[in-house]
Amino acid sequence: SQVLSLVIPSQLQRVTQQALHRLFHTRSCLFVVLHVALQAAVFGEYTWEVFVYCWELQFHLLLLLLPYLLLAGNLGCFLLCSRANPGTVTKSNAASLAKVYAYDGVLFQRGLVCPTCTLEKPARSKHCSVCRTCVHRFDHHCVWVNNCIGAGNTGVFLLYLLSLTATAGAVAAVTAALLIQLLLLSNLMHSTYLDAQGQEQPVGIPLLVQHLFLTFPRIVFMLGFVILLTLVLGGYCSFSLYLALTNQTTNEWCKSRRFGGSSHLPSQPHDRPLVYRNIYSKGVWRNLKEIFNPPTVLERKKK
């Protein structure tokens, strides 16, 4: 029995590790399906109850249709982002891509060869273990779109995040407006109740939330979910916008944060500490232009 108690946990740990590796280190549509299922569940509840109640309360039609319009735009960006070539580095384009960005000598060194692709790595590129290829201006691998984010689709990915955040925010705003309108119509906000001592007390927010949850449990649960989603997406969207405005990638930002504790590179003198400086930022507007219109070798030569 003691042997079995030791063998079973080890087997369970091995199976768990294999499942996690297969989930996050191989191309999988699982998160895409989960993403679509969550959107379907939210908009199913929005259409079935929120839209109907708001229509009966004579909400403006444009306000009610706004989440659907944002959803259509988000799905379009999702399809473009998931199907676009993120900037795969191949034998035919590796030499030309190496001329697009300069090597900063800190994060990106000239002459380094990818051990998997056996190609000289252009500046700002990285090998993706999931897609099993090097990606130019590599940002990260996104499981939600089942594709790498690189030079070819960073702009669309930013629009995808913005539209997804706006969609969740619009659903939350319409749903919150509905619940507030229902409270106003019920006149509960001006009601009172008797406490344990028999004294009359005004109805507070906790009782109002409890009443709404007991009366409209699915709507309140959905509202809590989309508010949380809006906050999380808003934070990540703000970070992605900051990276775009400063012409950085997630990969570069993470590597630069860890760089202070790393050892000196062989080409650098040991008596001078390495200092990372972002040499790719060209100002806010030019950075944004580069995100949506990636530079080519020809453009760089013209400059």
DSSP code for 134: E
Residue 249: CB partners within 8 Å, gap ≥ 6? Answer: 124, 137, 138, 139, 140, 154, 243
- Within 10 A of 148 (CB to CB), how many other CB atoms are there? 26
Alpha-carbon span 97 to 89, nearest angstrom: 8
Choosing from 54, 77, 117, 142, the catalytic residue is: 142
Residue carrying the six token digits 């089942």:
146
Any catalytic annotation for residue 131? no
Residue carrying the six token digits 């929120």:
50
Q: Which residues pair with 148 in a beta bridge?
A: 141
- Residue of 138, 105, 98, 149 whose CA lies nearest to 119: 98
CA-atom Rg of the chain in angstroms: 26
Q: Which residues pair with 193 in a beta bridge?
A: 201
Q: Confirm if 171 and 224 have CB atoms less than 8 A apart.
A: no
Q: Among all residues, which ones are annotated catalytic?
A: 142
